Amino acid sequence: MRNVLIDGGPVTMIWGFLIVYFFSLLCALSLAEISSKYPLELHAGAAIIAKDSYGLICSWFTGWFLLIGNWTMSISITFAGAQFILSVVGVYVDQYQATEYVTVIVFYIIVTVCGLFNIYGSKHLESLNKICVAWILFAIAIIGVMILARAPTYNSWSYVFTEFDNSRSNMPAALTFIIGLQQANFMMQGFGLLPAISEEVKDPERVVPRGIVWGVILSGLSGIAFIIPILLVLPDLSSLIDQNDTMMPIVSIFTIVTNSKIASAFLFLLVLGNLLFSGIGSIATSSRAVFSMSRDGALPYQDFWTYVDQNSVSKVPKNAVLLSMAISYILGLLSLVSTAAFNAFVGAAVISLCAASLIPITSSVLGFRKRVRGAVFKLRGIGIIINLLSIVWLVFTIFVLSCTPSLPLTLRSTNYALFVFIFATFIISILWFAWGRTNFHGPLIDSDANERVNVIEMRNMGTASTTGGDYQPVLTDDQLKSGSELSHKQANSSNMSASSSSHLDVNSGIDGISVGDSSVNIIKETKRDGLDE
């Protein structure tokens, strides 16, 4: 929040969020269409939707950008939780200032708690997701009511929607506003992660696109419901930024507005609960990204990372969870060396997620959208317009996230996120030539049944090979000309398309959008690869 207050204040906070909300919804619609046609992980869909000549390399980069984005996003959420906790401690302990070492220790504790819940409490993830949705809605409502009820004074509606202050950024007004979009982009970039659960839900060709779109819609509405009360009671910016540069602004706002340590403690608890739920979910999605990329040959020792104990109750890829935790532990140490370096990795998270979404959408447009014909979720005639606007917005977002929030530039204040992303892209490219070309096979599709194959299980049974037999890395152009050409398996797919109003059983409980009809399910999972449905 500090950066958006520096880069324009109220105008950037409310109008910038609305702009990001609108274009994020367009991107979500584009990905929803792709996910409804190919209900697989995003990197698998990228392999199929791109032309045969470059489908595999598109899948490679999409998968790695998603993996890096998942890891770094998880770190940013859990580290923000650590900073928030220590900021709260500063409210109740006079002149308390947390050191970098204490912050890292608290960060490690949060990562450990979230990781252990994923390993030993994963059977409760569905219930936790429902609690999380209810908690967020409850928290937003209670926070809004409490700060409005206890605020000694209120800002005018004119202040909320027209007050613009770029004096602290030392940049031109237009550039200040653009850079201020960073915070909103960070909040709205989770829509590209949902295809990872395609193997864990029923009717993924309907449930996943519905979840992508409604997730963005509800996130935007929740954001607006949170931002407007905050701006109505927002204290003078000098008391939030200039006089206190160690405490998180949201902590200062709650403390100043409520003028009560007990009331503010209750609000802190609501925010902390949301951060904890988000931390658990971020490690869950990170581990699924590790699992799916390892299964497709992107990581060495794939049998180790995809191992699932069939005798366990949870049936989760524990080694993938532990790897995600280890990455968090290692990168968290960067904050001890350089705050700027650590912030660069956090910024690179959203850039990586943007790049992961950009590849399949661009591939669809380059193929004149032929490979999304017959999708369950249809954009119809406006699809090309939505796709093109999505591409422009994602490229623009990468530029925005690469900008420094204020001048003058120093080694500490410079935004190194783009440099980290470029370096990561370079490493991914090297890995492609050193490992990917010979080991990464992308999504394995049964060329007869057009189904995802559980390669690891079949290899152990001696019935499949990753390089031979009847299994092909991706579908050919002829197989994708029309959904009707694949109707020899329609008997299986008809059961999956019997209802257009199914509930999202995993990760959110949203329904109520009609996503059209389909005569054939293009790709369906024959096995769940050991993961719980």
pLDDT at 411 exceeding the cut of 90: no
Mean pLDDT of 390-396: 97
pLDDT at 452: 53
**Of the listed ranges 232-236, 331-335, 450-454, the one predicted with least confidence:** 450-454
Which tops the pLDDT comparison, 341 or 359? 359
Enter the pTM of the model.
0.81
pLDDT at 64 exceeding the cut of 90: yes
* Distance, CA of 55 to CA of 47 (rounded, Å): 4
pLDDT at 312: 73
The residues, ordered by sequence, that sit 6+ positions from 430 with a Cβ below 8 Å of its Cβ are: none
pLDDT at 501: 30
Report CA-CA distances (Å) from 155 to 36, 225, 236: 45, 16, 10
* Distance, CA of 68 to CA of 45 (rounded, Å): 18
pLDDT at 195: 86
pLDDT at 359 exceeding the cut of 60: yes
Question: What residues pair up with 165 in beta bridges, in sequence order?
Answer: 8
- E strand or H helix that includes residue 84: helix 55-92
pLDDT at 440: 94
Mean pLDDT of 132-138: 89
Q: Can you tell me which residue has the tokens 């401690």? A: 89
**Of the listed ranges 13-17, 191-195, 382-386, 499-503, the one predicted with least confidence:** 499-503
Question: What residues pair up with 445 in beta bridges, in sequence order?
Answer: 452, 472
Which tops the pLDDT comparison, 489 or 91? 91
DSSP secondary structure string for all residues of 176-218? HHHHTHHHHHHHT-GGGGGGGGGGGSSSHHHHHHHHHHHHHHH
pLDDT at 445: 58
pLDDT at 294: 93
Q: What strands lie across the sheet with 471-472, from one edge to the other?
A: 471-472, 445-446, 451-452, 524-525
Mean pLDDT of 370-376: 91
* Distance, CA of 482 to CA of 127 (rounded, Å): 39
Structural domains for the chain: 2-439 (1.20.1740.10), 445-525 (no CATH)
Mean pLDDT of 113-120: 92
pLDDT band at 7 (very low <50, low <70, confident <90, very high): confident
Count other C-beta atoms under 10 Å from residue 367's C-beta: 15
Mean pLDDT of 366-392: 94
pLDDT at 346: 77
pLDDT at 466: 35
Mean pLDDT of 188-211: 84
pLDDT at 348 exceeding the cut of 70: yes
pLDDT at 405 exceeding the cut of 80: no
CA nearest to 523, candidates 371, 381, 360, 380: 371
pLDDT at 467 exceeding the cut of 60: no
**Of the listed ranges 224-238, 254-268, 365-379, 433-447, the one predicted with least confidence:** 433-447
- E strand or H helix that includes residue 320: helix 318-332
